[in-house]
Structure 1
Amino acid sequence: MKTNMGVFDRVFRILIAVAILILYFTHIISGTVAVVLLVVTGIFILTSFIGFCPLYRTFGLHTNKSND
Protein backbone atom coordinates (compact mmCIF):
# COMPACT_ATOMS: atom_id res chain seq x y z
CA MET A 1 0.00 0.00 0.00
CA LYS A 2 1.65 3.19 -1.22
CA THR A 3 1.13 6.40 0.70
CA ASN A 4 -1.14 8.85 -1.07
CA MET A 5 -1.28 11.62 1.54
CA GLY A 6 1.13 14.52 1.74
CA VAL A 7 2.54 16.00 4.93
CA PHE A 8 0.16 18.98 4.91
CA ASP A 9 -2.86 16.72 4.51
CA ARG A 10 -1.73 14.46 7.34
CA VAL A 11 -1.07 17.35 9.73
CA PHE A 12 -4.36 19.01 8.81
CA ARG A 13 -6.29 15.82 9.60
CA ILE A 14 -4.56 15.49 12.96
CA LEU A 15 -5.42 19.11 13.81
CA ILE A 16 -9.07 18.54 12.88
CA ALA A 17 -9.12 15.38 15.00
CA VAL A 18 -7.64 17.23 17.99
CA ALA A 19 -10.23 20.00 17.59
CA ILE A 20 -13.06 17.46 17.58
CA LEU A 21 -11.64 15.76 20.67
CA ILE A 22 -11.42 19.10 22.48
CA LEU A 23 -15.04 19.86 21.59
CA TYR A 24 -16.08 16.44 22.86
CA PHE A 25 -14.20 16.57 26.15
CA THR A 26 -15.43 20.11 26.89
CA HIS A 27 -19.00 18.86 26.28
CA ILE A 28 -19.65 21.27 23.44
CA ILE A 29 -20.73 18.37 21.24
CA SER A 30 -22.68 15.37 22.49
CA GLY A 31 -25.14 12.71 21.44
CA THR A 32 -25.28 11.30 17.94
CA VAL A 33 -23.25 14.16 16.49
CA ALA A 34 -20.45 13.41 18.95
CA VAL A 35 -20.45 9.71 18.09
CA VAL A 36 -20.29 10.39 14.35
CA LEU A 37 -17.52 12.97 14.79
CA LEU A 38 -15.54 10.63 17.05
CA VAL A 39 -15.69 7.95 14.36
CA VAL A 40 -14.47 10.52 11.83
CA THR A 41 -11.71 11.48 14.28
CA GLY A 42 -10.59 7.87 14.54
CA ILE A 43 -10.49 7.56 10.76
CA PHE A 44 -8.54 10.82 10.44
CA ILE A 45 -5.97 9.71 13.00
CA LEU A 46 -5.58 6.24 11.48
CA THR A 47 -5.20 7.50 7.93
CA SER A 48 -2.79 10.23 9.05
CA PHE A 49 -0.47 7.76 10.74
CA ILE A 50 -0.43 5.26 7.90
CA GLY A 51 -0.39 7.95 5.19
CA PHE A 52 -3.01 6.20 3.08
CA CYS A 53 -6.60 7.26 2.43
CA PRO A 54 -8.84 4.67 0.74
CA LEU A 55 -11.16 7.38 -0.60
CA TYR A 56 -8.23 9.09 -2.32
CA ARG A 57 -7.41 5.83 -4.06
CA THR A 58 -11.05 5.29 -5.05
CA PHE A 59 -11.22 8.73 -6.68
CA GLY A 60 -7.66 8.64 -8.05
CA LEU A 61 -6.44 11.50 -5.86
CA HIS A 62 -3.14 11.92 -4.06
CA THR A 63 -1.48 14.75 -2.18
CA ASN A 64 1.87 13.03 -1.78
CA LYS A 65 4.08 14.71 -4.36
CA SER A 66 6.86 12.11 -4.03
CA ASN A 67 4.65 9.49 -5.74
CA ASP A 68 4.24 11.48 -8.98
Structure 2
Amino acid sequence: MQKNLSRRDSRIRIVLGALAGLLAVAVLVDAVAVPDRYASYAGVAAVALLANGLTCRCGLYRLLGVSTRD
Protein backbone atom coordinates (compact mmCIF):
# COMPACT_ATOMS: atom_id res chain seq x y z
CA MET A 1 0.00 0.00 0.00
CA GLN A 2 1.38 3.40 -0.99
CA LYS A 3 1.72 6.25 1.46
CA ASN A 4 -1.34 8.47 1.31
CA LEU A 5 -0.95 10.84 4.28
CA SER A 6 0.77 14.20 4.17
CA ARG A 7 3.29 15.21 6.84
CA ARG A 8 0.73 17.47 8.45
CA ASP A 9 -1.97 14.78 8.49
CA SER A 10 0.55 12.28 9.85
CA ARG A 11 1.67 14.60 12.65
CA ILE A 12 -1.90 15.38 13.64
CA ARG A 13 -2.68 11.66 13.90
CA ILE A 14 0.43 11.08 16.01
CA VAL A 15 -0.54 13.85 18.43
CA LEU A 16 -4.16 12.66 18.64
CA GLY A 17 -2.97 9.08 19.12
CA ALA A 18 -0.71 10.13 21.97
CA LEU A 19 -3.56 12.05 23.60
CA ALA A 20 -5.89 9.07 23.23
CA GLY A 21 -3.24 6.87 24.83
CA LEU A 22 -2.90 9.26 27.75
CA LEU A 23 -6.67 9.29 28.13
CA ALA A 24 -6.72 5.48 28.20
CA VAL A 25 -4.10 5.42 30.94
CA ALA A 26 -5.91 8.15 32.89
CA VAL A 27 -9.12 6.14 32.81
CA LEU A 28 -7.31 2.99 33.96
CA VAL A 29 -5.75 4.74 36.98
CA ASP A 30 -9.10 6.39 37.84
CA ALA A 31 -7.84 9.91 37.17
CA VAL A 32 -10.92 10.44 34.99
CA ALA A 33 -14.35 9.50 36.30
CA VAL A 34 -15.76 7.54 33.36
CA PRO A 35 -16.59 3.84 32.94
CA ASP A 36 -13.55 1.60 32.41
CA ARG A 37 -14.72 0.50 28.96
CA TYR A 38 -13.70 3.92 27.66
CA ALA A 39 -10.08 2.99 28.33
CA SER A 40 -10.45 0.23 25.74
CA TYR A 41 -12.01 2.56 23.21
CA ALA A 42 -9.31 5.18 23.72
CA GLY A 43 -6.60 2.52 23.58
CA VAL A 44 -7.83 1.15 20.25
CA ALA A 45 -8.10 4.67 18.85
CA ALA A 46 -4.57 5.43 20.07
CA VAL A 47 -3.10 2.36 18.40
CA ALA A 48 -4.93 3.03 15.12
CA LEU A 49 -4.00 6.72 15.00
CA LEU A 50 -0.37 6.08 15.91
CA ALA A 51 -0.08 3.30 13.34
CA ASN A 52 -1.55 5.53 10.63
CA GLY A 53 0.58 8.48 11.59
CA LEU A 54 3.85 6.60 11.86
CA THR A 55 3.43 4.66 8.60
CA CYS A 56 1.82 7.56 6.65
CA ARG A 57 -0.81 5.10 5.43
CA CYS A 58 -4.56 5.09 6.00
CA GLY A 59 -6.69 2.15 4.90
CA LEU A 60 -9.89 4.18 4.91
CA TYR A 61 -8.33 6.82 2.67
CA ARG A 62 -7.22 4.02 0.34
CA LEU A 63 -10.74 2.58 0.13
CA LEU A 64 -12.16 6.03 -0.58
CA GLY A 65 -9.44 6.89 -3.10
CA VAL A 66 -8.33 9.90 -1.07
CA SER A 67 -4.76 11.08 -0.58
CA THR A 68 -3.39 14.10 1.28
CA ARG A 69 0.16 13.26 0.22
CA ASP A 70 1.94 15.98 -1.74
TM-score normalised by the shorter chain: which range applies?
A: 0.7 to 0.9
Kept in 1, the 8 Å contact 2:10–2:53? The answer is: yes
Identity %: 22
Give the unaligned 5+ runs of structure 2: none
Residue 5 of structure 1, CA deviation: 0.3
TM-score by length of 2: 0.79
For the aligned residue pairs, the C-alpha RMSD in angstroms reads 1.5
Matched residue pairs, number?
65
Asked if 1:41 corresponds to 2:41, the answer is no
TM-score by length of 1: 0.81
Residue 9 of structure 1: aligned partner: 9
Residue 22 of structure 1: aligned partner: 22
